[in-house]
Every structure is written in C-alpha cells, then in structure tokens.
Amino acid sequence: MTGDKAPDYAKAARAVEPVVVYPEAALPLPDLALYGAARARAVKTGEVLVAPREAACLPVRAGQFLRISCPEGPQVGDLNLWNLADLSERFYSGKTRALHGTHLDVGDRMWSSFPQLRPLATMVADTLAWYGVDAFGGRVHDVIGTRCDPYTHHLLTGGEYHHCCHSNLTRALAEWTGKPVSEVESAVHDVLNVFMCTGFTADTGQYFMKASPVRTGDYIELFAEIDLLAGLSACPGGDCGQGHSSDEALCYPLLCEVFALPPAALEGWESPQPSGYSGSHGA
C-alpha cells in the first residue's frame, strides 16, 4: 500500500504534527476533591457477587459510589451502564474513547449515548493506576474492545459458546427487566473492560490483550452521576492472558459494592443534565 506509489509530498505529510481532537481541558472537569471528601463519609449499602462466566445487574443511584473488585483472584470484567429510568440512554464507548483516550484513568468520565451525551459515571479510584503504559503499549481499563460475543466466536470457529460477556450481560438484563433475551439483547452495548490490559500492536495496529496485572483486593471506584443500572460480566477469559469465549481459562468472581452518603455531603454537586443541543440538526 505504501512505497513505490507514495506521492512526492509523502514525507512532508507524515511529518505533520498531530493535534489532540478533544483537549481534555475543554471538558467540564469533575470536582475530585468534592468526590473524595464525600467518599470518605460514604457507607456501604449493598453488594452483589458476580459469579465467574456470569453477569449481574444492580442499580447505583446518583451520588453513590460503585466499587468493582477482585475478591478471589485476577479477573477481568465487562461493564455496561444504563440510565436506570431509560435504558435507551447508555454508555457510549466510542465517544468516551475519543474524549479521554483508549483507557480510562481517575478523573475520566463514562459518557452516555446521543442525544443525552452526559457523564454517567466518573472514575474516582483505581488501585492499578501505577501500571501506566508498558513496553508493548499496554494499559488497563480499555474502552477499545467491544465485549466477547458468540457471533464473533461463531464466525471464527463455527462453534457455539453461551458464556461470552455479551450473552452473560443479555441474560442478566433479561432477568433484571423480566423480559425475554430477544427483547433486551439490543440494549447490551460496548463496554468498559475493567482491569483488562490491552493495546494495539506497534507494527500491525492490531488489538492485543495480555494477562491483567490485577490481583486479589484490587479495585476501581465509579461515582454515579445519574441514577444508573450497572451490568457487569466476569469474562470467561479470566485475566485474559490467553483466550476467551471458552471454559478453558481460570475464572474468578467479581465483587460489586455500593457506598452511599447523606445528600448534604455532596453540596455543590448536581446531577448533569442531558445535552443542551436543540436536536434540530438544521432541518
């Protein structure tokens, strides 16, 4: 594709410096000091243990904190977020990636789909923050990958596997809503890959994964900006060091804990409103 047919301006074109599309300084920044002070006063109000190769849904109210941890061993989680009152508003992985980068850090937001486009949650703690970027370009907590799913598995192998994250999330949402899987499947969406270590290969630009550095006791915490329904799948890939979409990897549960606090502790914070764009699209 390159080489002989490159035009005479190829060198100059490649030498042009890139510009960041969405400088983070232009975004409304979260008040992490306020969240931190609130978190210090929050008390645990509930927990859900997600079994290996399964998923579960749980509500997290605006102003509450959701901690996702590995209680027994290294395990990657695939996280979906919906507006609790309107499942059509859901986490928008692609726009979140465009705004914050391929992997999420403390202070980054999980943004919702159009037409609302608002922060659903803010990452406020991460015990894997030390990992940074490794020599392969690997980082943790990606918004690149979509979720393991039975369709891609069938495409590649011709086989049937029912415990991919997509199927786990679909079953969990069906159970939560009391609707058949056929009705809720389309609400399952691209995920935040919690604890997963991923990147793109330097030579071919292909999506790669490697064993997550997560250990027992590690966690992330998310602050719920609106009333949320969270869906979390304990990926059949375990630490995703080898493969997924099978029962071969060693898998562990994931623990979801919710922490709440008195409303006064969040003075100065308001749940974000949907986008103020008129929606006319010039029509």
* Least Cβ distance, residue 78 to Zn ion (angstroms): 5
Q: Tokens 């400088």 correspond to what residue?
A: 23
Query: Which whole-number Å values give the CA distances from 69 to 30, 91, 164, 185, in the listed order?
Result: 23, 20, 20, 26
If one asks whether residue 249 binds Zn ion (CB under 5 A), the answer comes out as: no
> How many chain residues touch Zn ion (CB under 5 A)?
4
* Least Cβ distance, residue 145 to Zn ion (angstroms): 8
* Stretch touching Zn ion by CB under 5 A, among 23-31, 112-120, 140-148, 265-273: 140-148
Nearest partner of 81 among 111, 125, 116, judged by Cα? 111
For residue 3, the 8-state DSSP code is S
Whether residue 128 contacts residue 140, with contact meaning beta carbons closer than 8 Å, is answered with yes
* Least Cβ distance, residue 55 to Zn ion (angstroms): 10
Q: Which is nearer to Zn ion, 122 or 212 (CB)?
A: 212
Binding to Zn ion (CB under 5 A) within 98-127 occurs at: none
The span from the CA of 114 to the CA of 84, in Å, is 16
Q: Which is nearer to Zn ion, 39 or 141 (CB)?
A: 141
Q: Which two tokens stand for residue 181?
A: 């899987």
The span from the CA of 89 to the CA of 187, in Å, is 9
* Least Cβ distance, residue 237 to Zn ion (angstroms): 6
The correct pick among 55, 143, 144, 148 for binding Zn ion (CB under 5 A) is 148
The span from the CA of 181 to the CA of 162, in Å, is 12
* Stretch touching Zn ion by CB under 5 A, among 78-86, 87-95, 126-134, 214-222: 78-86
Binding to Zn ion (CB under 5 A) within 184-243 occurs at: 235
Query: Which whole-number Å values give the CA distances from 190 to 2, 33, 82, 147, 260, in the listed order?
Result: 33, 30, 12, 6, 27
Q: Which is nearer to Zn ion, 38 or 194 (CB)?
A: 194
User: What does the angle CA 86 – CA 64 – CA 30 come to, to the nearest 5 degrees?
Assistant: 90
* Least Cβ distance, residue 233 to Zn ion (angstroms): 6
* Stretch touching Zn ion by CB under 5 A, among 125-133, 161-169, 178-186, 208-216: 161-169
Whether residue 247 contacts residue 216, with contact meaning beta carbons closer than 8 Å, is answered with no
Q: Which is nearer to Zn ion, 78 or 126 (CB)?
A: 78
* Least Cβ distance, residue 244 to Zn ion (angstroms): 5
The span from the CA of 259 to the CA of 61, in Å, is 10
Whether residue 249 contacts residue 94, with contact meaning beta carbons closer than 8 Å, is answered with no
The site string for Zn ion over 38-77 (x = CB under 5 A, - otherwise) reads: ----------------------------------------
* Least Cβ distance, residue 41 to Zn ion (angstroms): 35
Residue 208 host element (H or E):
strand 207-210
* Least Cβ distance, residue 94 to Zn ion (angstroms): 18
Binding site for Zn ion (CB under 5 A): 78, 148, 165, 235
